[in-house]
Amino acid sequence: MPEYHVDVTDPSITAAQLLVEPSGLSKQQIKQAMKKGAVWTSEHNISHKRLRRADKCLKVGQSLHLYFDPQVLAAKVAPAVLIKDEGDYSVWYKPYGMLSQGSKWGDHCTINRFVEQNHLPQRPAFIVNRLDRAAQGLMLIAHTKAHAAALSGLFEQRKIIKTYTALVPGQFPQTLLLESPINAKPACSLATLLTYSTLTKQSLVEVSIETGRKHQIRKHLSGAGFPIIGDRLYGYPEDDHHVDLCLVSTYLAFKCPITGLDKSYRLNDDYLPKLA
């Protein structure tokens, strides 16, 4: 995908105007790319920051960077849903397809950008925990750097209870303890049967994790012979592309590191995978 890099030599020329000639794009296209997080500034090739103001005049010595990927910029996702506003942080439902973090190509499909633009009163939004693009469920968004650091610390210290719900094919055992290492690191998941449908031959399973390795639940369930329905990466049939990954983060509990109060959040059944 094309990238455009321009040094600022005339401080009277706005950022959008400066990018028109090298990119061949219209000013309107560049403005939209800026709003979606695809334009950056840097000074002496350090301190890269997103630039969203098309009329901003820059200083000589700075550089502009445009990362233009039409497919990324055209992407759309369903809105996130506010579950609980705690003031200095809030709890949200992240839908399928929404990203936990952006890239140099844009950030308009990320949950923190959605929160910054839609949560009232408007405030900064800092990611605390992450979910795969294909996963759904509860995410913590901090609104101060202090709360972001404190809540992130709880995850790092494994002081947050995390529970997920997954839909898998076949009749799942009552309980399975899954401890296969992931990327040579210890990983522990406890999976418990919630419901089995004799009609669909599918099981709804609750999974609690002590560690947070990448794709941990997906890998553990697949390795146990129960790949999550919709998981084309770890074993679900390739010909069923219409099915989204049936994995939802449904419960979070912790002691607030700022107030010391016990906090817990659970999604209602409307968000759970359906046995059909």
pLDDT tens figures, 233-244? 887 665 555 788
Do 3-73 and 76-156 show the same overall fold?
no
Give the pLDDT score at 211.
79
- Please name the fold of domain 3-73: 3.10.290
Contact 229, 218 (CB under 8 A): no
Q: What is the pLDDT of residues 119-177, one digit of tens each?
A: 999 999 999 999 999 999 999 999 999 999 999 999 888 899 999 999 999 999 999 99
d(CA 246, CA 205): 11
Contact 82, 92 (CB under 8 A): yes
| Mean pLDDT for the chain overall | 92
d(CA 31, CA 28): 5
For residue 267, pLDDT over 90 is answered with yes
Backbone angles phi, psi at 274, to 5 degrees: -100, 140
H helices of the chain, in order, are 15-23, 27-35, 70-74, 111-118, 145-156, 216-223
Q: What is the pLDDT of residues 197-230, one digit of tens each?
A: 999 999 999 999 987 788 999 999 999 999 999 9
d(CA 103, CA 177): 36
The structural domains of the chain, with segments of one domain joined by +, span: 3-73, 76-156, 161-269
Give the pLDDT score at 213.
86
Q: Which CATH class is domain 76-156?
A: alpha beta
Which of the four CATH numbers 3.30.2350.10, 3.40.50.11540, 1.10.630.10, 3.40.50.2000 does domain 161-269 have?
A: 3.30.2350.10
Contact 270, 202 (CB under 8 A): no
Give the pLDDT score at 238.
58
For residue 29, pLDDT over 90 is answered with yes
For residue 86, pLDDT over 90 is answered with yes
Q: Which of the 8 DSSP states describes residue 56? A: -
Type of residue at 153: G
Among 259, 253, 252, smallest CA distance to 147 is for 259
d(CA 217, CA 236): 14
Q: What's the whole-model pTM score?
A: 0.90
Q: What is the pLDDT of residues 184-194, one digit of tens each?
A: 899 999 999 99
